[in-house]
Chain A
Amino acid sequence: MDFEKLHREESGRILATLIRLLGDFDLAEEMLQEAYAVALQKWPVEGTPANPRAWLISTARHKAIDRLRRDQRLERKSEEIAKTAETTTAMESDGDKEMPVDDRLRLIFTCCHPSLPLEARVALTLRTVCGITTEEISRAFLVPLATMAQRLVRAKGKIREAGIPYRVPLQEELRDRLDGVLLVVYLIFNEGYLATSGDALIRRELCAEAMRLGRVLCDLLPEQAEAQALLGLMLLHDSRRDARVSADGELILLEEQDRSLWHAEQIREGTEIVESALRRGAASLYAVQASIAALHANARTAAETDWAQIAALYDVLLRMQASPVIEVNRAVAVAMARSIEEGLALLDEIEKREELEKFHLLPAARADLLRRLGRNAEAAETYRRALTLATNDIERRFLRRRLAEVENLNAHRS
């Protein structure tokens, strides 16, 4: 019995059921920890039970009843739990049968309730649904441990005091509420995928957890095309994980990545999921981004990339959400699809807007286009400007590398 694995993979589901049975997040967490402690003592001696999950739930539940009975004031509550326990025992001890899947979905929707602050939703989902420790979450988000712990305590307090229900929303609210859940999953994935500081192992884990959540949502809400679109997007991005950073931690751009390192099976699965989502009417930001990701992932070489279609998709994206990042990406796609001069002209337009003065991606993109045109002196100057704005270490190293390249070319020519 791989205890670590059980803990990692099953904790969320077990906790979800316990919260339903006990009606209290903190009590459920505490009792589960106690049940694990008992298991660590007993299983090596008596052998692992046939259904470890059911064993843990029933042990945690009995511990809760004991605990509540000791507390006279909570007598009634313990009777309530004992009663619900009887009615659910039969179902749970039923061999290898799956537990009611609803519990996990309930837990996800409760942790992602829109009345909780967004950062608390992200933290609570990671802590409760994914079973990631508070310490790990605080490291992943570069927030002091005490702050993160406080955030979780507040969120659980609000669930209790404000009466946030522990259930899957009714059909008429499901679509709206699902958007909120997808946003949390997307943020978790992005934190793992885009953050370039902090612990690499934890970031990898965030991506894995986000994809796992995406799969749970797709399994449990198979009719929701946007959930599929998001899962497809994550799978496609993540398929490049081994190619986007070199052995010594340097950032490698899409164009220069060794495509044989991309995970072909994952690309196939991701593309299939995205196509199915689009066929069923997915039209969210995730769906459009996933379509772009699919075009990149399915190009055998950088030169074969369908930039015209990518540029068109960025147009769509921009109409859905005004964002300087999308604008810059669109300009780059136009440069690659039509002409570099046209892309540069678009960047000029964006640059005129003063609000983007401090936005390092803008000079970085511009420098790259200048480099492609062989205007190395201008490119060097623009890379230097990008360097004064970029704060992220990996990006700074990348910009410095590029700067050295164009300076070198420039020196050779003169």
Chain B
Amino acid sequence: MQYLLLIYHSEQGFEKTTESDRAAIYQEYGQLREDLTANGRFLGGNQLAATTMATTVRVREGKRVVTDGPFAETKEQLGGYFLVNANDLDEAIAIAARIPSARSGTIEVRPIVVRGKAVQA
């Protein structure tokens, strides 16, 4: 199965980390990505620019409404993602637990819908 691991973290907190701490975190991310690639689990993944760079788009009654900022103001922001291949949810959870930001933020594990299978509300 494919899972999207959404990485939520506090942008404010991340801005406060020191240069060397940040380098260590990126290094750890790089290592995780290499490991996942080596065992065929990695399908994609990126860091996202900060939410101040975000644009929100809605179409209402045919009219395009474009605004600044993320969709919702929250304590933690979506900062990046991994798209992985895993045998089951437990394996996806195990991968999520290895993401460095899991220690300070939150990883949301979402199964990818395949072949138009029904999605639970």
Contact = CB atoms under 8 A, between A and B. Distances in A.
Interface of A: 113, 115, 154, 157-158, 161-165, 167, 169-170, 173
Given A115-B89, A173-B90, A163 B120 contact: no
A70 to B, nearest CB: 21
B117 A163 contact: no
Contacts of A158: 120
21 contacts: A113-B89, A115-B93, A154-B120, A157-B118, A157-B120, A158-B120, A161-B118, A161-B119, A161-B120, A162-B89, A163-B111, A164-B88, A164-B89, A164-B90, A165-B87, A165-B88, A165-B89, A165-B90, A165-B91, A167-B90, A173-B94
A161 B117 contact: yes
A108 to B, nearest CB: 15
Interface string B42-85: 00000000000000000000000000000000000000000000
Interface in B88-121: 88-94, 109, 111, 113, 117-120
B32 interface: no
A167 B1 CA distance: 16
Interface majority SS on A: helix, strand, loop or mixed? loop
Nearest to B92: A163
B86 interface: yes
A262 to B, nearest CB: 43
Contact of A169 (B90, B92, B119): B90
Interface string B1-36: 101000000000000000000000000000000000
Contacts of A164: 88-90
Contacts of A162: 89, 111
A154 B89 CA distance: 16
Nearest to B91: A165
Most buried by B among A115, A154, A162, A173: A162
A161 B90 contact: no
Nearest to A153: B120
Contacts of B120: 154, 157-158, 161
A169 B89 CA distance: 11
B111 A161 contact: yes
A74 to B, nearest CB: 14
Nearest to A166: B88
Nearest to B3: A163
A224 B117 CA distance: 40
A167 B90 CA distance: 10
A158 B119 CA distance: 9
Contact of A163 (B88, B94, B118, B119): B88
A176 to B, nearest CB: 11
Contacts of A163: 1, 3, 86-89, 92, 111
Among B87, B93, B113, max chain A CB count under 10 A is at: B93
